[in-house]
């Protein structure tokens, strides 16, 4: 029986993860669950945001369902004890190099988007962000120059193996959708991006059925608000993907609606809403659980080979939204639990 590690975290993490769990339980799937402490909850209990038992559980599990971390009580701690280190540690330790972020406007939520309704309605894309390379993981440094100026540097680097494996995820994903892949880079000025573009083109030889195109990242950022309906599957590096996916999320309505998957290429993955622990609303039953519920659906599809169950969850969320179910972030009054109930009601 597949094992799911439930790492609910702190803040609204446990509230939204509980609803995702209720949805999974209702489907009656043959899955085992084990809970682990992570983030501020782990720090408060055992003095570390990513305890060895939790890392061990994540390694043993077939998939990790993650809530959110970011307890403000931990803000003053040294960086290594901050809750966010747990996510970075899990990504690195589990080799989760491919971050899939679907951004889609659910019918009925046009008013929630930062864009005009007729533009927002067209949004339905997947951004595939490389997650374990680029400027975040290159050499970094700080020094004071001979003239007494403070100077910082972060090296942007990718090797061809790292680029090829994320490109393949892009092409494979494109095959499951419209057969279109857009690679975003800055090849006009960056060597890293020139290599990126060269390697993506080389890999495209294995995917003659997918139409590949390229765009510079600054133009992509502009197009994201001008005409996001043109995007289907986007593959890009860690830094560009970080920024573009946040931009896409606001175009698609509430942050409480967007799930994500971080994959290692073998089927194992960590699934989490893109939002954080929302300390401003934690403990009040106001959080929108849809992103967590949709993350569970992604888990069933990508790690557990249960696409039909994933489809059922996604359809239930879409129907609940269309039927007018709204938490406060969507302009409604439903509690976290009541929103979970609305989704369950449509699961049949
Ligand atoms: P956040 O995503 O936690 O909250 C931003 C705003 O969106 C807040 O006003 C919050 O109330 C609202 N919001 C977020 N999720 C919501 C939901 N499901 N339903 C309704 N409203 C929701 O980002 P913020 O405030 O910048 O960060 C809070 C903490 O979370 C920080 O410590 C940050 O480092 C951490 N964080 C953790 C992430 C993770 O666990 N993967 C990701 C992003 C931030
Ligand atoms: Mg970000």
Residue 291: which CATH number? Answer: 3.40.718.10
Active-site hit among 186, 207, 286, 329:
186
Whether 135 and 180 map to the same domain: the answer is: yes
The answer, yes or no, to whether any atom of ligand 1 lies below 6 A from the CB of 329, is yes
Residue 146 domain flag = yes
Residue 320 domain flag = yes
Q: Which of 233, 253, 273 is the last residue of a domain?
A: 253
Residues 6+ apart with CB under 8 A from 74: 40, 43, 49, 81, 82, 83
Cα of 203 to ligand 2 centre, how many Å? 28
Whether 234 and 128 map to the same domain: the answer is: yes
pLDDT in tens, the chain (348 residues): 999 999 999 999 999 999 999 999 999 999 999 999 999 999 999 999 999 999 999 999 999 999 999 999 998 998 889 998 899 899 989 999 999 999 999 999 988 888 999 999 999 999 999 999 999 888 999 999 999 999 999 999 999 999 999 999 999 999 999 999 999 999 999 999 999 999 999 999 999 999 999 999 999 999 999 999 999 999 999 999 999 998 998 888 888 999 999 999 999 999 999 999 999 999 999 999 999 999 999 999 999 999 999 999 999 999 999 999 999 999 999 999 999 999 999 997
Indicate the burial class of 149 (C-beta count within 10 angstroms; 0-12, 13-18, 19 or more).
Answer: exposed
Whether 178 and 271 map to the same domain: the answer is: no
* Per-residue confidence (pLDDT) for residue 111, from 0 to 100: 84
| Residue from 321, 263, 265, 323 nearest 293 by CA | 321
Is residue 286 among the annotated active site residues? no
Whether 175 and 225 map to the same domain: the answer is: yes
The answer, yes or no, to whether any atom of ligand 1 lies below 6 A from the CB of 68, is yes
Cβ(334)–Cβ(325) below 8 Å: yes
* Per-residue confidence (pLDDT) for residue 256, from 0 to 100: 94
Looking at the chain, the number of H-run helices and the number of E-run strands are 12, 12
Pocket probe for ligand 1: among 84, 277, 327, 331, the residue whose CB has the most ligand atoms within 8 Å is 277
The answer, yes or no, to whether any atom of ligand 1 lies below 6 A from the CB of 281, is yes
Whether 231 and 315 map to the same domain: the answer is: no
The answer, yes or no, to whether any atom of ligand 1 lies below 6 A from the CB of 90, is no
Q: Which of 196, 219, 253 is the last residue of a domain?
A: 253
Is residue 242 among the annotated active site residues? yes
What range defines the domain where residue 26 resides? Answer: 1-97+264-348
Four-CA torsion 67, 266, 201, 188, nearest 10 degrees: 30
Residue 33 CA to chain centroid, in angstroms?
21
* Residue linked to tokens 């309605």: 121
Is residue 218 among the annotated active site residues? yes
SS3 320: helix
Q: Which of 207, 227, 253 is the last residue of a domain?
A: 253
266-275 core/surface letters (b: 16 or more CB in 10 A; e: else): eebbbbbbbb
Whether 194 and 330 map to the same domain: the answer is: no
Nearest-angstrom CA–CA distance, 58 and 54: 6
Whether 149 and 192 map to the same domain: the answer is: yes
Residue 247 domain flag = yes
Enclosing H/E stretch for 338: helix 336-347
Cβ(298)–Cβ(313) below 8 Å: no
Other CB atoms within 10 Å distance of the CB of residue 338: 16
Whether 74 and 123 map to the same domain: the answer is: no
Residue 102 domain flag = no
Pocket probe for ligand 1: among 90, 278, 282, 287, the residue whose CB has the most ligand atoms within 8 Å is 278
Whether 80 and 121 map to the same domain: the answer is: no
SS3 257: helix
Sign of CA dihedral 53, 57, 58, 60: positive
Whether 249 and 275 map to the same domain: the answer is: no
The answer, yes or no, to whether any atom of ligand 1 lies below 6 A from the CB of 256, is yes
Residue 259 domain flag = no
Q: Which atom of ligand 1 is nearest to the CA of 13?
A: 40
Cβ(234)–Cβ(174) below 8 Å: no
Cα of 242 to ligand 2 centre, how many Å? 5
Residue 152 domain flag = yes
Whether 164 and 201 map to the same domain: the answer is: yes
Strand partners, 33: 4
Residue 258 domain flag = no
Residue 42 domain flag = yes
The answer, yes or no, to whether any atom of ligand 1 lies below 6 A from the CB of 69, is yes
Number of structural domains in the chain: 2
Whether 140 and 10 map to the same domain: the answer is: no
């Amino acid at each position: 029986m597949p094992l799911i590690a439930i790492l609910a975290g702190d803040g609204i993490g446990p509230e939204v993860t509980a609803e995702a769990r209720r949805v999974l339980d209702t489907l009656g799937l043959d899955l085992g669950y084990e809970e682990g402490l992570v983030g501020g909850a782990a720090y408060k209990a055992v003095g570390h945001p990513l305890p060895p038992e939790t890392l061990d559980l994540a390694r043993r599990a077939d998939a990790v369902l993650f809530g959110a971390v970011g307890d403000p009580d931990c803000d003053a701690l040294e960086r290594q004890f901050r809750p966010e280190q747990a996510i970075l540690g899990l990504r690195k330790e589990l080799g989760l190099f491919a971050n899939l972020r679907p951004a889609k406007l659910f019918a009925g939520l046009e008013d929630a988007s930062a864009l005009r309704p007729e533009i927002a309605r067209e949004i339905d894309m997947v951004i595939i962000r490389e997650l374990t390379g680029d400027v975040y993981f290159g050499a970094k440094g700080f020094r004071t120059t001979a003239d007494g100026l403070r100077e910082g540097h972060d090296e942007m680097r990718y090797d061809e193996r790292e680029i090829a494996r994320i490109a393949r995820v892009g092409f494979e994903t494109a095959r499951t959708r419209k057969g279109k892949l857009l690679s975003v880079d800055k090849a006009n000025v960056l060597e890293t991006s020139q290599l990126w573009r060269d390697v993506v083109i080389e890999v495209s030889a294995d995917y003659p059925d997918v139409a590949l195109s390229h765009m510079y990242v600054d133009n992509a950022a502009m197009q994201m608000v001008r005409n996001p309906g043109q995007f289907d599957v986007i593959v890009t590096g860690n830094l560009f993907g970080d920024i573009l996916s946040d931009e896409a999320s606001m175009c698609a309505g509430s942050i409480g609606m967007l799930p994500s998957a971080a994959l290692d290429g073998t089927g194992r993955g960590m699934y989490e809403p893109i939002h954080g622990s929302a300390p401003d609303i934690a403990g009040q039953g106001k959080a929108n659980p849809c992103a967590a519920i949709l993350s569970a659906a992604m888990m069933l599809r990508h790690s557990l080979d249960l696409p039909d169950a994933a489809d059922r969850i996604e359809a239930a969320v879409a129907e609940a939204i269309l039927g007018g179910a709204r938490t406060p972030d969507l302009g409604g009054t439903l509690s976290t639990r009541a929103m979970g109930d609305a989704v369950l009601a449509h699961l049949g």
